[in-house]
């Protein structure tokens, strides 16, 4: 009954959901294909061959997190069906696995909307032997149709916060035990932490194991990292990256950058940043401003222009061998390309990881730590709370707390500038970050081991006489 009520409401409100997606697509850019056949479970291209392992990575972050797992499964000869919900996730998957897509070993599709008919047709067409949902993508009809199609569902590198648990409880207040029953239908939940595992078990997942966070198994592109470090060396100036800014944060950081350009010496305390009106020296840091989504590149450019900050777009200089000389009078590089974050982190002396200075929940700081770049994050980090706590505890990162007396972005920029004056301490933070990441790797191998054991037990059970 709860399932039918949920589906009825989904059908009633779907026009509003599609209108919101269209608005988001218009604002964000990218190819959303809201009404394409794939999103309704229809596929003109026949699936030929063995049953694939289906992996769902909803967006950009999940796709990057799943890279090591997908790569290992491909190396074992598996065919992969990779689905997404957002254009950024699909574009990243296409970039990471271009060769496998061309060879036919991996196919990308949109995840169908959570209607019974669309999800039923999805399973009937592809007949995957196993479903892997990355981090937290649990939809009632999708899980129900997987059960009816006898496709085991695994929640991989699962994160489940107290906030998510509260959302589930509120949904179940409206739909009786809809979400509890859905989580109870998941065959195996492979959690990032003990706390995630406990909350998943409390919400109804029956088979929960702790395997760690896939993001620690980040596959750093060696050439990009070396190129970034070489670019920094040729530039001859310290670099501060302000990475993955989201809505509202560019408007916080551009004034903070401007303020630092006008004032050299700052006294940083627990309560305020006192600025002295002294111009920056000749070796003033170069700031990399890196919006997370491409639709905001132009918006960030307008903010820089309005603040009279001397900036260039990365897209105009990235292939220019004379760029280090041309950047001598530049104050900010607006990084308006996708897929180059390892280069930017490797080129930087300090990384301010945004998404955490406005209430967006934070962004992943593990990649910067893996490269050895010290990190500063803001007060809003609920989506990466465990990683932030771990990095702060070992000294690889610090977290700026909220204060009524000083803007957190201003304080982050001032702190980053002050770190540049202590190169030995800065290098030590970078080493601590690399060591911390190295201590937490292995989630990919543990997940694959759990999958192998799960499939072996399932095969053995199916061969038992009844």
Q: Catalytic positions, please? A: 62
Q: Which tokens is 12 given?
A: 């009633």
SS3 133: strand
Distance CA 293, CA 29 (A): 9
Of 185, 96, 100, the residue nearest 138 (C-alpha): 185
Question: CA-to-CA distance for 68 and 60, rounded, in angstroms?
Answer: 14
- Give the whole-angstrom CA distance, residue 261 versus residue 307: 11
**Bridge pairing between strands 239-245 and 208-210:** unpaired
Residue 32 main-chain phi, psi, to 5 deg? -90, -35
Q: Two tokens at 294?
A: 């491409």
CB 131 within 8 A of CB 57: no
Strand ranges for 232-282 from DSSP E: 239-245, 266-268, 273-275
CA-CA distance, 415 to 74, in Å (whole number)?
Answer: 43
Give CA separation, 159 vs 181, 291, 296, 346, in Å.
Answer: 18, 25, 28, 28
Q: How far apart are CA 390 and CA 440, in angstroms?
A: 10
Distance of alpha carbon 69 from alpha carbon 63, whole angstroms:
10
Token pair of 453 as six digits = 């054991």
Alpha-carbon span 416 to 116, nearest angstrom: 51
Give the burial class of 290: count Cβ atoms within 10 A of its Cβ; 0-12 exposed, 13-18 middle, 19 or more buried: buried
CB 245 within 8 A of CB 300: yes
Strand order in 286-291's β-sheet? Answer: 311-313, 332-334, 286-291, 239-245, 350-353, 375-377, 397-399
Strands 375-377, 397-399: pairing is parallel
How far is it, in rounded angstroms, from Cα 64 to Cα 84? 12
């Amino acid at each position: 009954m709860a399932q039918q009520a949920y589906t009825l409401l989904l059908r009633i409100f779907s026009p509003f959901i599609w209108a919101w997606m269209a608005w988001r697509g218009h604002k964000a850019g990218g190819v959303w294909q809201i009404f394409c056949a794939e999103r309704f479970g229809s596929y003109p291209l026949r699936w030929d061959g063995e049953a694939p392992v289906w992996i769902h990575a909803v967006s950009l972050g999940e796709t990057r997190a799943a890279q090591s797992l997908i790569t290992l499964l491909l190396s074992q000869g598996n065919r992969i069906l990779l689905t997404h919900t957002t254009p950024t996730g699909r574009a990243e998957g296409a970039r990471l696995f271009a060769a496998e897509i061309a060879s036919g070993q991996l196919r990308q599709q949109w995840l169908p909307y959570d209607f019974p008919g669309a999800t039923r047709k999805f399973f009937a067409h592809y007949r995957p032997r196993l479903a892997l949902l990355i981090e937290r993508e649990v939809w009632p009809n999708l899980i129900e149709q997987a059960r009816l199609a006898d496709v085991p569902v695994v929640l991989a590198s699962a994160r489940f916060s107290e906030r998510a648990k509260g959302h589930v409880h509120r949904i179940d207040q409206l739909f009786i035990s809809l979400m509890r029953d859905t989580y109870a239908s998941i065959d195996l939940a492979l959690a990032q932490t003990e706390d995630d595992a406990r909350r998943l078990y409390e919400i109804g997942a029956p088979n929960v194991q702790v395997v760690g966070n896939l993001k620690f198994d980040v596959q750093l592109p060696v050439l990009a990292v070396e190129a970034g470090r070489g670019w920094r060396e040729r530039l001859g100036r310290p670099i501060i990256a302000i990475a993955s800014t989201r809505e509202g944060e560019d408007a916080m950081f551009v004034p903070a950058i401007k303020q630092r350009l006008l004032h050299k010496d700052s006294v940083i305390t627990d309560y305020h940043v006192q600025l002295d009106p002294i111009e920056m020296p000749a070796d003033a840091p170069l700031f990399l401003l890196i919006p997370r989504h491409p639709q905001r590149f132009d918006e960030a450019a307008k903010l820089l222009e309005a603040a009279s900050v001397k900036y260039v777009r990365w897209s105009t200089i990235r292939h220019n061998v004379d760029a280090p000389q041309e950047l001598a009078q530049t104050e900010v590089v607006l990084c308006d390309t996708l897929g180059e974050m390892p280069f930017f982190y490797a080129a930087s002396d300090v990384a301010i990881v945004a998404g955490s200075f406005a209430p967006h929940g934070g962004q992943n700081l593990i990649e910067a730590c893996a490269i050895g770049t010290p990190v500063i994050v803001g007060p809003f980090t609920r989506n990466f709370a465990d990683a932030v706590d771990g990095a702060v505890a070992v000294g690889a990162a610090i977290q700026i707390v909220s204060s009524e007396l000083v803007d957190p972005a201003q304080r982050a920029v001032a702190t980053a500038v002050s770190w540049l004056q202590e190169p030995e301490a800065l290098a030590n933070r970078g080493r601590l970050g690399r060591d911390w990441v190295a201590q937490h790797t292995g989630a990919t191998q543990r997940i694959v081991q759990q999958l192998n054991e799960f499939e072996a037990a399932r095969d053995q059970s199916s061969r038992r006489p009844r």
